[in-house]
Amino acid sequence: MQLKGKTAIVTGSGRGLGKAIALKLAQMGANIVLNDISGSEDIDATAEEFKALGYNVVVTKGDVRNPDDVENMVKTAIEAFGRIDILVNNAGITRDALLIRMTEKDWDDVLDINLKGAFLCTKAVAKVMIKQRSGKIINIASVSGVMGNAGQANYSASKAGLIGLTKSTARELASRGITCNAVAPGFIQSKMTEVLPEKLKEEYLNSIPLKRFGTPEDVANVVGFLASPDSDYVTGQVIHIDGGLVM
């Protein structure tokens, strides 16, 4: 229960990786603020599931691209639990296409949610953490932001930008007792990856030294470490969770 009494906000936590991260932090004792876009039914089901397990949880629905929605998320967290100790910027989308076929809207949507959203959430939460003189900010990047990926110019750019944001945030907030790190998952099993052609999945698998795909829990475990006191002397780092894909 390393996080007992702490409060964690996890964006995009209605399902998938965000849900797995929120569950891990709840298991470690944290109060959880679930966040997902308005209209999401997943987040309500996730909240009920967490409550049934005895975890302290509140739900905030809103778009991380919208400053008012982000401020409301922070306000809800403070009203419910009195403080914010951990922010996990997980909300993200993909709009894959080859560069010459990618629309301007596909570019803007991915950069706005994946990068601008993280900026807005970090800015809002940092104000609280600075007053507390403590906090952990964890950004969910991707190996695509490190090595690039054909058909993902927008996604790769957003995740590379998130890594830059991580390092700048770490430098700016270190003197206030706040750390900021990123994790860069590789090929993680999800609903999105399940629909890929078997031949493509086999090609991915052959490029991974550990010869298996990652799970949401693999990522959540590292996020749990970065959110805990065990990582107090770690900041500005990007931890790859990819089975050795990028070395």
The residues that bridge with 97 in the sheet, in sequence order, are 152
Please tell me the distance from the alpha carbon of residue 56 to that of residue 69, in angstroms, as a whole number.
Answer: 22
DSSP conformational letter for 15: S
155 is catalytic: yes
b/e for 5-35, b at 16 or more Cβ within 10 A? Answer: ebbbbbbbbbbbbbbbbbbbbbebebbbbbb
Q: What is the CA radius of gyration of the chain?
A: 17
Q: Could you tell me which of 204, 174, 172 has the C-alpha nearest to residue 186?
A: 204
Contact between 86 and 138 (Cβ < 8 Å):
yes
- How many CA atoms, within 13 angstroms, populate the side-chain half-sphere of residue 124? 25
Dihedral sign (CA 193, 196, 200, 206) = positive
- If you ran DSSP here, which 8-state letter would residue 232 be given? T
- Catalytic residue chosen out of the listed positions 55, 155, 204, 233: 155
For 66, half-sphere exposure in the C-beta direction (CA atoms, 13 angstrom radius) is 10
Residue type at position 117 = G
Strand partners, 87: 9, 137
Residues catalogued as catalytic: 155
